[in-house]
Amino acid sequence: MPIVAGVDSSTQSVKVVLRDSDSGELIASTSRPHPDGTEIDPQHWWKALSEALEELSSHKISAISIAGQQHGMIALDKDGAIIRDALLWNDTRSDKAAVELNQEIPDIALRTGSQLVASFTASKLRWLADNEKENANKVAAIALPHDWLSWKLSGAKSLDTLFTDRSDASGTGYFDSVKNDYCLDILETAMRSSKQIILPKIIAPNQFGATSVDFIPIAAGAGDNAGAALGLGASLGDLVISLGTSGTAFAVSKSSTHDSSGEVAGFADATGNFLPLACTLNAAKIFNTVARSLSISFEEFSSLALSAKAGAEGLRMVPHFDGERTPNKPRAKGSFHGMTHSNFTKENIARASIEGVVAGMIYAARAVERLGVSYTRILLIGGAAKNAAVQQISADLFGRTIHIPAIGEYVADGAAKQAAWALSGKENPLNWSLGEIKEVNSRNSDPEIVESYMELISI
């Protein structure tokens, strides 16, 4: 019974799961926190991962894979030392740099699948070149968080041994996921330099890239969303709606997507397909804020929402509390619409809050659909997916059955599945059971409610 390890190195923490390579049965798991912030010393991630693996060291691990937060810029000098703290995906100081690069490279979406926004690595490199020239001049290699952790795990010193996978590389802004190769001219434009910079070698998702100092094979790894898709066993025809602090809508596609509007990122997945993804900034955090403002628990919030009529008697909430990414309205604010003396009740406020967030996910899903990506099944995941009101209102507004997998560490599970896949030597990923999948059917579907939200979101 070989045991494989899957790692999810996210913004908030590192989670490690150990699973049976053949069956996918969970053997053990642990986690360690990461420091908060938008620029972080990667050594904190390495310390957290090392501690987590040490806790699980009584188990014999046959293979390991690391999935991680995307876009983060780790700049290394010629000796492999970290030049400055990593700029993470949520660091927005590079927003103007993204606008500049989109103007300088008009065909960037056609080539890389995505218009640049502040989160992309290329945008952060342009910011570095313009604001920290001394640091920019020291750059000998660029790695992403999961690349760097895999490299550290291997104990390697040579920058030439850095490796990654196409899913994480597709979030850099200088990678062509159709050709599976870097666009070096885009990198040079971003850096304002033609100096040769080492980038991680792209390896296949079922390959090992190195061996750890403990002689454990290290698989390619993946970006976090691709890791989640692999962990869920998402396939062609699946749309995944993830409701965490922020929200994501992504679907598995056989062909690449290229969205010049910038609403959908044309990512690659961790199997050889593609993973067009739209992100919203406002999801489960809205529910917590509204529940707190009403001085009720989250459980009471859910009960109130279910007790209200569909459509909240005309009350609408546009939940752009943190601005918005899809549609791209960074300076937007949240708002209520259609308020009357009779409909402005706790019940309707709770209902409108959930309907507003779910409507935002429908907007994101439609943005993916507009690129020719269709879906027949909706998987609802994330912390808020456990909530009965969120489940039912999602089914009602989408007008479809919603499928809710058992709660799990999907990103870490996807990494573990990738390690098992590489260990098996097979052409396709292993088919681990997801366990029981709950189905919630639509009961009060009303397209007019959805369309009223689409109008408000688009204003």
Cite the active site residues: 224
Q: Look at residue 83 and give its three-state secondary structure.
A: coil
Pair type for strands 377-381 and 402-405: parallel
Q: Give buried/exposed letters for 121-131 (b at 16+ CB in 10 A, else e).
A: bbbbbbbbbee
The crossing angle, in degrees rounded to 10, of helices 184-191 and 121-131 is 30
Structure tokens at 293: 């403002």
Q: How far apart are CA 404 and CA 277, in angstroms?
A: 19
Q: Cβ distance 414 to 5 under 8 Å?
A: no
The crossing angle, in degrees rounded to 10, of helices 284-293 and 298-307 is 90
For the chain, count helices (H), then strands (E): 15, 24
* Residue 265 main-chain phi, psi, to 5 deg: -85, 130
Q: How far apart are CA 423 and CA 403, in angstroms?
A: 30
Q: How far apart are CA 441 and CA 258, in angstroms?
A: 33
Residue type, 261: S
- Measured in Å, how far apart are the chain's first and last C-alpha atoms? 56
Q: How far apart are CA 152 and CA 80, in angstroms?
A: 10
**Which residues neighbour 68 within 8 Å (Cβ) at sequence distance 6 or greater?**
7, 8, 9, 10, 144, 145, 146, 149, 168, 221, 223, 224
Q: Give buried/exposed letters for 222-252 (b at 16+ CB in 10 A, else e).
A: bbbbbbbbbbbbbeeebbbbbbbbbbbbbbb
Alpha helices in 1-144 (DSSP H): 43-55, 95-104, 108-112, 121-131, 133-138
Q: Which helix (H) or strand (E) holds 65?
A: strand 61-68
| Residues composing the chain | 459
